[in-house]
């Protein structure tokens, strides 16, 4: 019953959760996922930083550029972002990236993007992914590469990104990371 009031309130404010499906037990809206953008990021070869606590291996991978297009704009990736990742002994990788999107507007906006995620899967698949020769032919459905994404900008044209949340599904292809990001509704 409380939920109905929330829906009406939400409509007046932002007109998004109007048709939210409610959990029958709690009456809370069930989050939705809507495909929102596609991104392809170009990578430098990884630099191994040696071992960390508990047999982990640390890697630094810097980004040289890339492209993205979203339901709300498109553009390029600026030189200079990076992934600071650590690899567990069974080869699962924890990903932690930060980089800058530039929009294709005549006067571009800059949007900082941050992703956190895991690449997990059977050890033999992850081993192939770490092999520069075999990595390209690994089917992305054989491993799980998932990211949480958030963004920040001070540019008023894109201020909605500050409060939007996404999850993405990715793959490694050659010297690129490719992912589809889904907006959480």
Ligand X SMILES: *[C@@H]1O[C@H](CO)[C@@H](O)[C@H](O)[C@H]1NC(C)=O
> Which stretches of the chain bind ligand X, using CB under 6 A?
37-38, 69-71, 74, 104, 152, 154, 156, 159, 162
Q: State which residue, 37 or 63, has the beta carbon closest to ligand X.
A: 37
Shortest approach of ligand X to residue 146 CB, angstroms? 19
Q: How far is CA 15 from the centre of its chain?
A: 25
Shortest approach of ligand X to residue 140 CB, angstroms? 18
Shortest approach of ligand X to residue 22 CB, angstroms? 28
Shortest approach of ligand X to residue 92 CB, angstroms? 29
User: Do the Cβ atoms of 39 and 181 come closer than 8 Å?
Assistant: yes
Q: State which residue, 134 or 160, has the beta carbon closest to ligand X.
A: 160
Q: State which residue, 50 or 156, has the beta carbon closest to ligand X.
A: 156
Shortest approach of ligand X to residue 168 CB, angstroms? 12
82 vs 173: CA distance, rounded Å: 17
3-state secondary structure of 165: coil
Q: State which residue, 130 or 152, has the beta carbon closest to ligand X.
A: 152
Instruction: Please report which residue ranges of the chain form alpha helices under DSSP H.
Output: 2-13, 123-129
Shortest approach of ligand X to residue 115 CB, angstroms? 17
In the complex, which residue's CB is closest to ligand X?
A: 159
Q: Which of 121, 122, 125 is nearest to 145 (CA)?
A: 121
Q: Which long-range contacts (CB under 8 A, 24 or more apart) does 22-31 make?
A: 27/1, 27/2, 27/3, 28/3, 29/3, 31/184, 31/185
Q: State which residue, 74 or 130, has the beta carbon closest to ligand X.
A: 74
Q: State which residue, 37 or 86, has the beta carbon closest to ligand X.
A: 37
């Amino acid at each position: 019953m409380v939920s109905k009031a929330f829906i009406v309130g939400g409509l007046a404010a932002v007109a998004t959760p109007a048709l939210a499906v409610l959990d029958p037990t709690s009456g809370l809206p069930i989050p939705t996922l809507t495909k929102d953008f596609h991104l392809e990021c170009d990578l430098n070869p990884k630099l191994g930083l040696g071992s960390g606590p508990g047999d982990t291996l640390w890697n630094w991978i810097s980004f040289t550029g890339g492209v993205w297009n979203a339901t709300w704009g498109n553009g390029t990736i600026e030189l200079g972002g990076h992934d600071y990742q650590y690899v567990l002994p069974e080869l699962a990788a924890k990903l932690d990236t930060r980089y800058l999107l530039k929009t294709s507007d005549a006067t571009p906006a800059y949007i900082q993007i941050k992703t956190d995620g895991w690449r997990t899967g059977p050890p033999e698949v992850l081993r192939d992914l770490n092999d520069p020769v075999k990595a390209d032919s690994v089917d992305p459905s054989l491993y799980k590469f998932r990211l949480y994404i958030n963004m920040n900008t001070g540019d008023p044209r894109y201020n909605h990104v500050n409060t939007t949340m996404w999850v993405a599904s990715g793959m490694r292809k050659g010297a690129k990371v490719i992912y589809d990001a889904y907006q959480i509704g």
